[in-house]
Amino acid sequence: MIELNTIEALRKQVAEWRQAGECIGFVPTMGNLHGGHLSLVDEARARSDRVIVSIFVNPTQFTPGEDFEAYPRTWEADCAALREHNSDLVFAPSVEEIYPDGPALRTRVEVPALNDILCGASRPGHFTGVATVVAKLLNIVQPDLAVFGLKDYQQLMVIRHMVRDLSLPVEIVGGPVAREPSGLAMSSRNAYLTDAEREVAPALYATLCVIAEQLKAGEHNLERLTAAGMKAISQAGMKPDYLEIRRAVDLMPAGVGDTELVIPAAAYLGRARLIDNIRLTLPAPGLQASA
């Protein structure tokens, strides 16, 4: 596996692969890799001749008070895992390489309709940092396809809309949510959970499952469902941030006739902020008007 940390060296290697007619897949990460990340690498491997993984802890997507300095850096373990999953190249640039004028961005990429809702309401500026760094990385690597996890559904929507709006020539692939045996979605921040908190954390996914089943059974009072879900999360021992029922295509509020839905949620548990979601398809004619 090739290890590079400069844009110039990366582009030289990519040019060689392109000259050979090879398809290039890309998985952007912030390192501290777990099974969820590696499932995305496997997805890229199945779709590409060459797989590039970036490891870059992006300062512009951390909001004030968050854990940029404390974010786990596990380079040796990450590289060992990537070798096991047949990655061809790991790109690990410095902050200065990505932001030569510093991370106080002069140029920003934003998707206004998605920036300030759900996680964006609690983390102002987060998705501007995400969209900007992903746009830069896609421009640097210029892959045929890039794989992102469905666990952070809002992030995936931001990236898909950004790529479409800017006419970037890359296919965005959503990789399935990887879960621990308890149902807890895999996340680097799960390392912050104590043993006792790990017993509580699966209640977030369990609550979403209950709501999804109620929707499939014909319940259409979304306000009642989300209020009950927030109460269940709180009673389990977490501090709910949000739980909503949205349209899967664009994360706008779900309404009458919608059949493709997503139920995103976020909650605080100790030092960790957990996020999760469930996608579901209702039979036509979809949601009905509330009684």
Which residue in 34, 37, 85, 126 is the catalytic one? 37
Is there a catalytic annotation at residue 161?
A: no
**φ, ψ dihedrals at 110, nearest 5°:** -135, 150
* Cis amide prior to 285 (ω within 30 degrees): yes
Rounded CA separation 105/111 (Å): 16
Other beta carbons within 10 Å of 92? 18
Whole-number Å distance between alpha carbons of 67 and 51: 29
Q: How far apart are CA 181 and CA 127, in angstroms?
A: 30
Q: Return the active site residues.
A: 37
